[in-house]
């Protein structure tokens, strides 16, 4: 068996900053509110909850602890509500997400219709929506773009969720060019780390028999990696930890690729890798024993 690890793995910078801020506060204080789950990974969230993290979906009644805004960000109405409260707010919104907030806010004020490319129910997309008065069209395919009534006399501003599928986004851009939607102003706001992660995953999947995509099953960017890999390597599996390794698909001749989404911490990736290495060692030992038995 051969094990290959993707060049780009694990926490992106935005997630890492949010996690580091939470850990720093919880090392000094017994409680910290998080507006929404800080990361789409059950094990990481569970560890933080054990330290005192309390996940909330609205501004709490009692301001008895600091409140952290996760990397996905929140809408303007939430920010305004927090400003009126007595909370000490730690804003861990990813700087790249904040950039999108500014783009849609400014363009909405200037009369543009906003188009957001992304997953309709994802917290990052909902946060972006909240910076353009909750007035935007959300699409996730070229077909949905064509179903829109693009009015030539109006101006449109198109942005993307930072973790959106790069291949699908490129198809949407091609559709804009092919149909000569010259009044659509495009901002490619897919994170560079996402693009590199997806490209590296695809390249690795092209030379592997089995691909393991590590990350939370409710993580958008992890699902995108899974979809891209699955299209190339049919034996692609989305796993949250080493317990979900599909051993029955792996033998001594298998080339196993390991990729991980932004919701996968280093220690989970290391556990998966270690289990694969142990399996490989056991296979090699068994092969040697079989060879020795044949010689005698």
106 is catalytic: no
Question: Are 191 and 159 spatial neighbours (Cβ–Cβ below 8 Å)?
Answer: no
Task: Give CA–CA dist 262/224, Å, rounded.
Answer: 11
Q: What order of strands is seen across the sheet that includes strand 113-117?
A: 136-139, 113-117, 156-160, 184-186
| Backbone angles phi and psi of 238, in degrees to 5 | -95, 115
One of 37, 43, 105, 124 is an active-site residue; which one? 124
Number of neighbours of residue 26 by Cβ within 10 angstroms:
20
Q: Which residues are bridge partners to 213 per DSSP? A: 238, 259
- Give the integer Cα–Cα distance in Å for 141 and 35: 29
Distances 196 to 68, 147, 199, 256, 277 between C-alpha atoms, Å = 28, 30, 5, 20, 26
Residue whose C-alpha is closest to residue 260's, from 193, 206, 209, 175: 193
Residues taking part in catalysis: 124
């Amino acid at each position: 068996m051969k094990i290959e690890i993707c060049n780009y793995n694990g926490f992106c910078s935005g997630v890492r900053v949010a996690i580091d801020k939470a850990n720093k506060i919880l090392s000094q204080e017994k409680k910290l509110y998080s507006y929404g789950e800080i990361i789409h990974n059950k094990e990481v969230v569970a560890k933080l909850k054990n330290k005192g993290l309390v996940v909330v979906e609205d501004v709490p009644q009692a301001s008895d602890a600091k409140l952290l805004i996760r990397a996905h960000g929140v809408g303007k109405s939430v920010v305004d509500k927090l400003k009126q409260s007595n909370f000490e707010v730690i804003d861990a919104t990813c700087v790249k997400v904040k950039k999108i907030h500014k783009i849609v806010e400014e363009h909405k004020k200037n009369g543009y219709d906003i188009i957001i490319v992304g997953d309709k129910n994802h917290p990052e997309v909902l946060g972006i929506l909240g910076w353009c008065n909750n007035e935007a069209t959300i699409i996730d395919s070229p077909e949905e773009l064509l179903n829109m009534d693009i009015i030539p006399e109006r101006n449109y501003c198109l942005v993307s969720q930072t973790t959106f599928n790069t291949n699908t986004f490129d198809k949407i851009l091609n559709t804009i060019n092919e149909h000569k939607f010259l009044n659509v102003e495009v901002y490619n706001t897919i994170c560079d780390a996402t693009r590199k992660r997806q490209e590296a995953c695809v390249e690795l999947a092209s030379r592997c028999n089995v691909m393991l995509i590590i990350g939370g099953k409710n993580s958008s960017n992890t699902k995108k990696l899974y979809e891209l890999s699955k299209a190339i390597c049919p034996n692609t599996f989305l796993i949250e930890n080493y317990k979900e390794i599909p051993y029955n698909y792996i033998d001594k001749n298998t080339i196993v690729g390991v990729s991980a989404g932004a919701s996968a911490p280093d220690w989970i990736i290391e556990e998966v890798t270690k289990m694969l290495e142990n399996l490989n060692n056991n296979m090699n030992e068994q092969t040697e024993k079989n060879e020795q038995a044949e010689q005698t």
